[in-house]
Structure 1
Amino acid sequence: MKLSGIDHIELYVGDARQAAFYYCTAFGFQVHGQGGPETGLKGQRSILLGQGDIRMVLTSPLVADHPAAEFTRKHGDGVAVIALEVDDVETAYEELVRRGAASVSAPAKYAEGDATVATAEVSGFADVTHRLVEREGPRAEFLPGVFRMSEVDTGAGGELLNIDHFAVCVPTRTLSPTVSYYEDVFGFSQIFEEYIEVGEQGMYSKVVQSDSKLVTLTLIEPDTARQRGQIDDFVQWHGGAGVQHVAFTADGITDAVRALAGRGVRFASTPPTYYDTLAERVADLAVPVAELREVGVLVDRDHWGQLLQIFTESMHVRRTLFLEIIERRGALTFGSGNIKALYEAKNRELSGIA
């Protein structure tokens, strides 16, 4: 079984058209396709957005018994499906179920013209599922015969390139079992572990990654022996474990942040004092301190290079899901200093100080 990478993500949202307008206007996505009852998608309206190598489906329920209806009632808008590209859907599905994944939907095929797509779904964490996707023929089609594809301005540039990782908040005492599940069932490896203290708060973090290194989950659990913090808040407001943020890569993060901010994206603030000693903490900065300070980007490093990151504010009423913009200048993992700084930035947003 080979997991090649992320094929797409699907968000369940209250209003797919409103969400699509926001992501296109603010983040530079384009509508690549649409589907609904008229195309064979029963009880739902779905809009496919794209930018760089990112494919994101926004799905709203049209009937009360659609899975998106229960998801949005319980969690609000959020990531419901992380789709994984595989070389053989039937083999991967059978292997994952044999290893302990629960079957969500059996293998099915979609075909039109020269394009054929096979899919199946298995359990991931909490209410997030993994859709297995096998593609043959033209990749311009998403689900042949089910999604009507749109004309796309191929010359239009965008700031975002692909999905770097997902940050997942889990309730206390579920971090280790979740890591074991991805190791035992999906064959992921743990590549990073950290305990973070911020004032009187604390959290545990472990990162698991596929053999291809193209699917990465940063799993975060609150330390309930310490003061309550934002991870506890997420788990409560989201109604259990879920994707706290999706990290999109950018080539030239400072220019990307300026462009996104110019279109209305709000970013979590960074105290000016963060930059006072940055050059001492990170030698040979890839971007001048003055430029980093201007846009609020954080910098850290690992053994391989530098990592530049910034969070958006949450755009949802529950203040749960948000996005991260990241640029890797050689770095392969996650810098400990940035994790703490990003945690503090989110605390400031949620406390209303920022």
Structure 2
Amino acid sequence: MLSKCVSISHVTLYVSNARQTALNFCLQYGFSPFRYRGLESGDRLRSSHAVINNDVVFVFVSPLIHCEDNHNICTHITRHGDAVKDIAFNVNSMDDLVQHIKLNSGQEVKQWSESDPKGNVKFSRLSAFGDTTHTLIERNGYPKELFLPGWQSSTLESALKNSLWSKLEPTNIRFIDHLAINQPVGQIQPLIKW
């Protein structure tokens, strides 16, 4: 049986300042700091802050070094401003789904895995439209509260605990029910066929 996309794992946005954007989402939309990946966790190229509200996770990524050395993020920000780069889906059987995608679309699929002492997670990334990508994630029992391998506890909690954020009522956003995209004139038909 063909694997299904079980749910949206998270939405990744490339932004000019990941920390500031994450703080804004906490203060303005009722999200909570979730996980962090950056210099302290071994990533020397980018700073990533994840925020959460029930099952909704946004990941904000910004470059840590000069853009010539980190051109993918900078090119995306220059072209689109702060914008969505990737929509990640949880799947229950990666291999079957990737095989189906390759057979039916002929599309290149980048596959890799990441692990830590808590487990192993499989990833596959494919081009969706324009320079937006979709990442498929098979967690294999990896603890949801740890998000993904290589991430650590958020560093934003201490910045927010003595602020207005600690007094705000929860917004209780439960899940992402749909996503909308904009395409240039004449470009929607190829996307529909895909």
**The two structures share one fold, judged by TM-score above 0.5:** yes
Q: Please show how residues 111-190 of structure 1 align to structure 2 within 5 Å.
A: 111-113=116-118, 115-135=119-139, 136-144=141-149, 146-150=150-154, 157-181=170-194
- Aligned residue pairs total 177
SS in 2 for 1:176: helix
Q: CA deviation at 1:29?
A: 0.6
Q: Please show how residues 140-289 of structure 1 align to structure 2 within 5 Å.
A: 140-144=145-149, 146-150=150-154, 157-181=170-194
| Paired residues of 1:90 and 1:107 also in contact (CA < 8 A) | no
* Deviations, residues 145-184 of structure 1 (Å, cap 9, x unaligned): x10024989xx73331111111111111111211110xxx
The letter for the 2-side match of 1:14 is: S
Relative to 1, partners in 2 of residues 1:68 and 1:81: Cα closer, same or farther, differing over 3 Å? same
Whole-angstrom CA distance in 1 between matches of 2:148 and 2:89: 14
Of 97, 116, 126, 2:102 maps to 97
SS in 2 for 1:171: coil
Q: CA deviation at 1:106?
A: 1.9
RMSD: 2.1
Corresponding residue for 2:79?
Answer: 74
Structure 2 segments unaligned to the other structure (5+ residues): 162-168
Whole-angstrom CA distance in 2 between matches of 1:112 and 1:157: 33
Greater RCO (CA < 8 Å, at least 6 residues apart): 2
Q: CA deviation at 1:62?
A: 1.9
Q: Which is greater in Rg? A: 1
Whole-angstrom CA distance in 1 between matches of 2:175 and 2:117: 27
TM-score scaled by structure 2? 0.82
Q: CA deviation at 1:101?
A: 5.7
Structure 1 segments unaligned to the other structure (5+ residues): 182-354
Moved more, 6-15 or 171-180: 171-180
Relative to 1, partners in 2 of residues 1:96 and 1:111: Cα closer, same or farther, differing over 3 Å? farther
Corresponding residue for 2:24?
Answer: 22
The letter for the 2-side match of 1:55 is: V
Whole-angstrom CA distance in 1 between matches of 2:117 and 2:83: 30
Percent identity, please. Answer: 29
* Deviations, residues 172-199 of structure 1 (Å, cap 9, x unaligned): 1111211110xxxxxxxxxxxxxxxxxx
TM-score scaled by structure 1? 0.47
Relative to 1, partners in 2 of residues 1:108 and 1:77: Cα closer, same or farther, differing over 3 Å? same
The letter for the 2-side match of 1:29 is: F
Whole-angstrom CA distance in 1 between matches of 2:99 and 2:46: 28
Corresponding residue for 1:110?
Answer: 115
Relative to 1, partners in 2 of residues 1:59 and 1:101: Cα closer, same or farther, differing over 3 Å? farther
Whole-angstrom CA distance in 1 between matches of 2:134 and 2:48: 18
Corresponding residue for 1:222?
Answer: none
Q: CA deviation at 1:2?
A: 1.4
